[in-house]
Amino acid sequence: MNHERSKKLYARAKKVIPGGVNSPVRAFKNVGIAPVFADHGKGSQITDADQNTYTDYICSWGPLIFGHGSDIYYQDVDRALAKGTTFGLATEIEVEMAETLVDAFPSVEQVRMVNSGTEATMSAIRLARGYTGREKFIKFEGCYHGHSDSLLVKSGSGTLTFGEPTSAGVTRGTAKDTLVATYNDLDSVKALFAENKGEIACVIVEPVAGNMGVVPPNPGFLEGLREMTREEGALLIFDEVITGFRVAYGGAQELFGIQPDLTTVGKIIGGGMPVGAFGGPAEIMAMLAPDGPVYQAGTLSGNPIAMHMGLNTLRYLKAHPETYDVVNARAKRLAEGFEANIKATGVKAVVNRCAGMSALFFTDQKVENFSGVMTSDTEVYANYFRKMLDMGNMLPPSQYEGIFVSLAHTEADIEKTIADNRKALEAIAEG
């Protein structure tokens, strides 16, 4: 496969963009090749700057549940554009979006729109601190909640890829209030509560971890967090930026039947446009400015075009619940195909999956927390990634990200990827 134009673009980009990219994982550092520059996408396929085509399993890291360029996102967008792209005033469509999110999540009575997942989690934590009057909070090792200072402490995603669990530029003063527990380990949370009695404002968790590969919650883990936070007077925040409208319409809280105090969402709710939101009970949300003392704002928050494309997406999902059956069935077949290939080739690997999210780890250990993830052989993953890319499969260019399947992925796409996976694993087995 020829990547000459991508290489030229990368060289040009490196002069004017740090590392040549606007988000670290796009640099392909972890897979030992120059990054591929995307040109366009349609359905399950993307075409790069050299006109190579791939079946895309990144799906913009989650937003594109209908695949690329679907008419569902764009319906009537011309009309929305003609009305204006931003006003700095309230608009009706923001109310419609808030009503749609409140309808989707029984735990949410009010919601505030923001422009990214990072803003959503940062604001939710500020709100939890303002509401409880406490300063510390708990997050889990390997979970990623965006790049605000207090959340860049032992986080996953791009920071793991680059071996910098704690970013430079985050002060010790900030980091000291972020307590880090082990995913799927309630005792680690209990210990932190015991050591910091009455000081913990909230626990924030990805209800299905999607930034250290994919790690589903063990039975009882989320229930235990719900119980413990209630007992300790702390809020429970579900970061559903990935899982919201993906693992089920009502997110992981619907799938597992647990109501958090605050919920953060992003990705799918913008239909491909930059967006985020956080919400919860009116009593807690009332703490936000302009009515309450917790400040939070945004010039482009509730942007009409993002709301329009997001609502197109959510309305379709609500009207077509079978979308989840199709996406989940395709993801299940993909995971089972990979598992059969692992068995047949004898390569040391495991597949984790929850609904439409999955990950393949090159380890023989069970992967249920960050230490399990770290047993995966990232050199082998890089080799696997390059082989799959050459055969026309765009997998995550990092062991620490998940595979996303969309409604646009056909059975034929999935079967081809399974067959390619077999060839890649056979080559790995042969050394």
Q: How far is the CB of 144 from ligand PMP (least distance, A)?
A: 5
For residue 345, give the DSSP letter: H
Q: How far is the CB of 90 from ligand PMP (least distance, A)?
A: 23
DSSP per-residue codes, 103-120: HH-TT-SEEEEESSHHHH
Length of the chain measured in residues: 431
Q: Please, how many CA atoms are within 13 Å of residue 327, restricted to the half-sphere of its CB?
A: 31
217 binds ligand PMP (CB under 6 A): no
How far is Cα 196 from Cα 290, in angstroms, rounded to an integer? Answer: 32
First-to-final CA distance of the chain: 22
> Binder to ligand PMP among 94, 206, 254, 420 (CB under 6 A)?
206
Q: How many CB atoms lie within 10 A of CB 217?
A: 23
> Does the annotation count 39 as an active-site position?
no
How far is Cα 3 from Cα 284, in angstroms, rounded to an integer? Answer: 51
Stretch that binds ligand PMP, among 14-22, 139-147, 196-204, 216-224 (CB under 6 A): 139-147
Q: In 179-236, which ranges are continuous DSSP H helix?
A: 186-195, 221-232
Give, in order, the Cα–Cα distances in Å from 242 to each of 142, 213, 250, 274. 15, 12, 12, 14
> Does the annotation count 324 as an active-site position?
no
253 binds ligand PMP (CB under 6 A): no
Q: How far is the CB of 287 from ligand PMP (least distance, A)?
A: 22
> Under rule CB under 6 A, which residues in 273-302 are in contact with ligand PMP?
276
Q: How far is the CB of 322 from ligand PMP (least distance, A)?
A: 26
Q: How far is the CB of 328 from ligand PMP (least distance, A)?
A: 19
| Residues in CB range of 351: below 8 A, 6 or more apart | 335, 338, 339, 342, 358, 359, 360, 361
How far is Cα 27 from Cα 20, in angstroms, rounded to an integer? Answer: 7
> Binder to ligand PMP among 118, 376, 417, 421 (CB under 6 A)?
118
Q: Are 142 and 211 in contact (CB under 8 A)?
A: yes
Residue 300 or 418 having the CB closest to ligand PMP: 300
160 binds ligand PMP (CB under 6 A): no
Tell me the residue nearest to ligand PMP as measured from the CB: 117
Stretch that binds ligand PMP, among 7-15, 141-149, 197-205, 245-253 (CB under 6 A): 141-149
144 binds ligand PMP (CB under 6 A): yes
> Binder to ligand PMP among 29, 129, 145, 246 (CB under 6 A)?
145
String of contacts with ligand PMP for each residue 224-243, x by CB under 6 A: ---------------x-xx-
> Binder to ligand PMP among 10, 57, 61, 73 (CB under 6 A)?
61
> What are the backbone dihedrals phi and psi of residue 133, each rounded to the nearest 5 degrees, phi first?
70, 20
DSSP per-residue codes, 162-179: TT-SB-TT--HHHHTTEE
Q: How many residues bind ligand PMP (CB under 6 A)?
A: 16
210 binds ligand PMP (CB under 6 A): yes
Q: How far is the CB of 117 from ligand PMP (least distance, A)?
A: 2
Residue 53 or 182 having the CB closest to ligand PMP: 182
| Residues in CB range of 154: below 8 A, 6 or more apart | 139, 141, 142, 165, 166, 180
Stretch that binds ligand PMP, among 116-124, 126-134, 193-201, 409-417 (CB under 6 A): 116-124
Q: Does the bond joining 290 to the residue before it have cis omega, within 30 degrees of 0?
A: yes
Catalytic, out of 48, 177, 185, 239: 239
Any bridge partners for residue 280, and if so which?
A: 110
> Does the annotation count 377 as an active-site position?
no
Quick one: tokens of 284? 């807690």
Stretch that binds ligand PMP, among 29-37, 113-121, 279-287, 403-411 (CB under 6 A): 113-121
Q: How far is the CB of 350 from ligand PMP (least distance, A)?
A: 22
Q: Are 143 and 212 in contact (CB under 8 A)?
A: yes
Pairing of strands 38-42, 45-48: antiparallel
Active site residues: 144, 239, 267
> For binding to ligand PMP (CB under 6 A), which residues are involved?
61, 116-118, 121, 144-146, 206, 210-211, 239, 241-242, 266, 276
